[in-house]
Amino acid sequence: MNDMNNKATRMGLVERYLEAETSPEEERLLAGFYNSCKADGLSEEEKAVRLLILGTHGEDAAATLEPSADKEQEYDRLMKTRAVLSVRWKTAITTAAIGLAAAVALALFLPVQPRPESSRPQFSATVPEKTYQPAVSVQTQPTITEVAEGKATTIRMEKREKACPKRESAEQSDKNTLITDIGRLYLWAGELFPDCEKIEMERKGDAMLLTTTRADGSQRFYIMTEDATGKPGIQITALAETDRQSTY
Amino acid sequence: MNQDEFEHFVASVRPRLHALCLRFLARTNGQADAEDLVQETLLRMWTLMKAKLVDNPEAMAIRMAKNLCIDHYRLSSRRHTPVQGVPEEQTTGSNPEQELMARELKERIDAALEELTEAQRRMVRMKGAGMDNGEIAVVCNTSRDCVKSTLCAARRKMMNRLKGGKT
């Protein structure tokens, strides 16, 4: 402490203090000196040094406090609560993500398959029976003599407007493509050959090959084409007849 | 406790303390830096260990860190910024004149400390608590030269503030 009364020694130590080169013991020595001396006898420079040392030196009261058990319990409780909430959120988000992924996977791997031609429902199933009216003008079933082999018979469509009014516009715009309307052809064929057990049609270029099978297994073959006169209608020409069923 | 022992202790406990503080701040949306809480914990542990008040330093450090986390959480909840500065004991004097002087001293020191960065303020506190530069470097996970330059800058800045702000 006696050395500290020497201003030159003291100021040298202060300079080292400001340079942060002093040891804790030297700083305690400075603090002890400035704590015991009066500020009145010091220069302005030293008064500021005194304030600095006394203001920043000394045991930190807060640092010596023992940790509190209550705070430790509060910490554990807070972390536990937050952890539970966090787990719930994570579970909800994970579940939503899994559900979304499953939906996407189903959409990707199970696309709607187009139905093959053979699995199409029968015409009778797609056209309600009540609304169905024959679109052909023939009143009686044609016989094989009427539709003789190589002789064309024309089926006119006088009743079509009344039969299917909802399809009128389609028919008007499709007059020349009646042969492509498989459903309508089946309808006509069903009216034309009501005693046939089976009617088959097969497209052959612009024409349609019609095969009828009766209960006794005999088959008859016809060719169906658009009416050559340009009027809306189908021309049916008998081709051949077999006495037993065979694949054509 | 010498510096080697303290350094060994810090090296062993720092990762756990950092993880603990980081987890707490993440859960509570705390705005503080986990490293700040770790360094504050180590400063207090140094004080306790130096006074030989600790039987199980690691367990004590964990408890201390949890306490500091809760302190930070409460302060954040109150939207109050803690001012670390002169200990309260210096503001209580035996007579009104001393008390007035102590209050004035505290206000001026607080104003000077406010101008420091967080790292400078923390090192000034550590130095004031009696740590040497090597121990501060261990706690702050930095070099002695860095501690020295930071402290020097902080003390010069405070000196200028105290001289300029003198009434």
> Which one is predicted more confidently, B60 or A69?
B60
The mean predicted confidence, pLDDT, of chain A is: 71
User: In which element (H, E) is residue A207 found?
Assistant: strand A207-213
Q: Does A68 touch chain B (CB under 8 A)?
A: yes
- B-chain residues near A20 (CB < 8 A): 127, 133, 147-152, 155
pLDDT at B53 over 50: yes
Q: State whether A49 and B159 contact (CB < 8 Å).
A: yes
Burial of B72 (0-12, 13-18, 19+ CB in 10 A): buried
pLDDT in tens, A41-76: 788 888 888 888 888 876 554 455 677 778 888 888
User: Which of A51, A64, A65, A82 has the most B C-beta neighbours within 10 Å, making it the best mutation to test the interface with B?
Assistant: A51
> Which one is predicted more confidently, A129 or B45?
B45
Residue B33 CB-half CA count within 13 A: 7
Chain B residues 118-137 with a CB less than 8 Å from chain A: 124-125, 127-133
Q: State whether A59 and B87 contact (CB < 8 Å).
A: yes
The interface predicted TM-score of the complex, written ipTM, equals: 0.75
Minimum CA–CA partner of B54 in chain A: A66
Evaluate whether B89 touches A61 at the Cβ level (below 8 Å): yes
According to the model, what pLDDT value does residue A101 have?
Answer: 92
According to the model, what pLDDT value does residue A158 have?
Answer: 42
Stretch B136-141: mean pLDDT: 89
* CB burial string A158-174: b at 16+ within 10 A, e below: eebeebbeeeeeebeee
What confidence tier does B146 reach under pLDDT thresholds 50, 70, 90?
A: very high
Minimum CA–CA partner of A44 in chain B: B163
Q: Enter the DSSP assignment of A149.
A: B
Chain B residues 65-104 with a CB less than 8 Å from chain A: 66-67, 69-71, 73, 85-90
What confidence tier does B23 reach under pLDDT thresholds 50, 70, 90?
A: confident
Q: Does A39 touch chain B (CB under 8 A)?
A: no
**Between A24, A48, A67, which is nearest B130 by CB?**
A24
